[in-house]
Chain A
């Protein structure tokens, strides 16, 4: 089943074309890796799919429906975007992990939080840890599981392992592998990581605003 379809998608800002005529189809359960040089438009492409910005040309269809007709709030709860260099908000880890429940008007699921923290090797007492005392790797891990408190259908990862040491990278990727194996989340990952690119089954390259499917 086609989950996401981009046809003739373009994005321009201040008369400068950042993406042009992007055509891409993502099937449910796919794991698409996108690579390309910095400034080529990869992050912009993910932001378009995440509805953080809207295309200036072409259409994006999600589950067969034009993205512009979706309620952005409901859509973003299904299609979760994990930022490159994410920011944690509030005072502690708990405030971050309980935010997805808060905005849905639901009770914070402590067990789910503990389970996810365990997956990414964060101690349970970290829940009340002030965010400004976390290391870069810990922040990235908290941000990632914040996106997974409610399982999305499509997870967009924007260079999430950039800047992480090998230990943190391994932790993050083991979570992604587990997610892929257990829950069938569709993934689109933007990366510069050579191993990830080499392992990718579906690979696309974005350069100078154009997307080319490699395999």
Chain B
């Protein structure tokens, strides 16, 4: 193990935050408060998580691991919900989408022998899957709202011709799912060339042979492609219906 981050070095590195604060102050971005809150939250949350994970890994209990996974999925769903512009049932749609994508991806990884069914492997991977699903779903919600607002007339024309709500929304669904997936597709094209992503970097810093580390990164790339596509697909197909009422009329977005 060649990791050397001590409490002292971490305190010194905290000076980097001053750069962000200075830019925020100099350009009058009004983000100073957010940066400070963000830093404090990051330190507290990660410290707590560090101790919780240490405990969970030591206990090595399946039920406890599942509870921790559910908490991760719950938090991710709650965060995705905030991007929904308040349509009804956004939390549960996000929860179902994130839970399903996490379950499917983890099942494949465990069954293929890529990772072991131990908390130290399951929990971090769940976090990666859930957070990527969360971001993808958030993008989908934002895009879907904008498209239903901007393409309202086209949707109405289709409905008036006798289309069901799926046919009336087809273009929006397609474009929105693509929006949810595109960051992952883009980053899979540049992975290794532009960035050495988190998992691979972590392994390399921890002293693992880079050739071994890339195998994990390849696994992560596959995993994230499946995750974001599945989460976007499920969330979009459940969410678009919320833009219509029971009479298959497009709801008024004014005031939302």
Contacts and interface: CB of A to CB of B under 8 A. Distances in A.
Nearest to B152: A87
A183 B153 CA distance: 29
Given A83-B156, A87-B153, A103 B249 contact: no
Nearest to B252: A13
Contacts of A51: 247, 249
Contacts of A87: 153-154, 157
A76 B161 contact: yes
Interface stretch (B80-88, B115-123, B163-171, B192-200): B163-171
Given A72-B248, A83-B153, A89-B171, A99 B164 contact: no
B154 A103 contact: no
Nearest to B162: A77
Given A72-B248, A89-B171, A102-B167, A83 B157 contact: yes
A74 B159 CA distance: 11
Interface in B141-176: 153-154, 156-164, 167, 171
Contacts of B252: 13
Nearest to B248: A72
Given A51-B249, A52-B249, A54-B247, A99 B163 contact: yes
B162 A103 contact: yes
A80 interface: yes
B221 to A, nearest CB: 33
B148 to A, nearest CB: 14
Interface string B226-256: 0000000000000000000001111010000
Interface in A26-84: 50-54, 68, 72-74, 76-77, 80-83
Report the contact-size class of chain B (Cβ under 8 Å from the partner). Answer: 10 to 19
B152 to A, nearest CB: 9
Contacts of A100: 161-162
B246 to A, nearest CB: 9
A53 B159 CA distance: 11
A87 B168 CA distance: 14
A103 B160 contact: no
B160 A80 contact: yes
A134 to B, nearest CB: 15
A9 B235 CA distance: 38
A87 B150 CA distance: 12
Q: Which among A54, A68, A103, A147 has the highest number of chain B CB atoms within 10 Å?
A: A103
Interface in B78-128: none
Residue among A86, A89, A90, A100 with the highest chain B CB neighbour number at 10 A = A89
A83 B160 CA distance: 9
Given A52-B249, A103-B167, A80 B161 contact: yes
Given A83-B160, A89-B154, A104-B162, 7 more contacts: A50-B160, A52-B156, A73-B162, A80-B161, A83-B153, A89-B157, A103-B164
Interface of B: 153-154, 156-164, 167, 171, 247-250, 252
Give the 9 A-B CB pairs with smallest separation, nearest first.
Answer: A77-B162, A76-B162, A81-B160, A72-B248, A87-B153, A89-B154, A103-B163, A103-B167, A87-B154
Interface of A: 13, 50-54, 68, 72-74, 76-77, 80-83, 86-87, 89-90, 99-100, 102-104, 143, 146-147
